[in-house]
Amino acid sequence: MNPTPTPAALRKLRRALLAWYDEHRRELPWRRDADPYRVWVSEIMLQQTRVAAVVDHYARFLQKFPTVQTLAAARESSVLAVWSGLGYYHRARRMHQAAKLIARQRRGIFPRTAEEWRELPGIGRYTAAAIASIAFGEATAVVDGNVERVIERMFGAVEGREAAWHRAESLLDRERAGDFNQAMMELGATVCTPRAPQCPMCPLHNWCVSRGANPARPQAARKRRQLIYGLARRNGSVLLVQRPAKASLMAGMWELPALPEAQHNGAEPMAKLRHAITDTDYDVSVFTVAPAKFHSSAVTARWFAERQWERLPLTGLARKILRRLPA
């Protein structure tokens, strides 16, 4: 294992990484300022979600809820409607709860330290440190999957998450903590990537013991599943069902009714699409059916006109299907 660099080497390493970040960082909407509300929204959205998917939702979310007060005053269904398509809806629910606490109990004043942020719903160790360092300059390091990979490769050993936090603290530039943290994450996302690290372009090349020699961790094989939905239309409205309030996933959200395989009798689907959630790829087929098929006491079913869809907390897949419907 590579020892911690000397103080002189650490100064050079920090300078090199920050200079690289200043020149090469991606221009992302949440990097335009260090407003704590915007940093918080972006950090919650970016959890387990690709940057490209977040960019659109981030703009729409801020347009609808420009301040913590507007978010706190919103109904949960409105928050979920704007979040629709990002997945992991518990993030939106907890952020909404935290907004109410900030607006009402803290009179709109945001926490400043990572320790204070962790007292809010939905804020773990990484998110608290990211917000406190980026928005308030607190000298605290962050470790996400990207940072952990960079550190493992730099120091030449798989040391585990806790050891990576210690390493990250020892590397941190305490004057520019927020930028340093973002630089480490950016490096992992764009240069020290899982499969093909671009070592000759890496600002940490001189201090890296593996220089790309560490094999990528094996990726879990993706699963493949089929989903079948029924589409019933009446005078421009569509029949939707609500997921149970106690469902472990997407509780209370609206979607098209699932269709038992036997009910489509070998007919051709009116739409076919692919949908990916975490480690599973879904082949989705949608069949046109008569409304009478869905009479069931087990679910809440309602007709919704097209003008209502945007404001409805739809599952991401339901929104995708509805957007593809011919007029």
Residues in touch with ligand SF4 (CB under 6 A): 150, 153-154, 191-192, 197, 199, 202, 204-205, 208, 210-212
How far is CA 40 from its chain centroid? 12
Toward ligand SF4, which CB reaches closer, 81 or 202? Answer: 202
Cβ at position 42, least distance to ligand SF4 in Å? 25
Query: E-strand spans in the chain?
Result: 223-231, 233-234, 237-242, 254-255, 271-277, 280-288, 300-305
Which residues carry out catalysis?
Answer: 43
Cβ at position 139, least distance to ligand SF4 in Å? 23
Find, among 92, 223, 217, 102, the residue nearest to 160 by Cα.
Answer: 217
Cβ at position 7, least distance to ligand SF4 in Å? 20
Toward ligand SF4, which CB reaches closer, 149 or 264? Answer: 149
Residue 303: what are its φ and ψ, rounded to 5°?
-90, 135
Cβ at position 149, least distance to ligand SF4 in Å? 8
Toward ligand SF4, which CB reaches closer, 74 or 189? Answer: 189
Q: By the 8 A CB rule, do 197 and 153 touch? A: yes
Toward ligand SF4, which CB reaches closer, 116 or 169? Answer: 169
Residues 6+ apart with CB under 8 A from 32: none
* DSSP assignment string, 30-51: GGS---HHHHHHHHHHHTTS-H
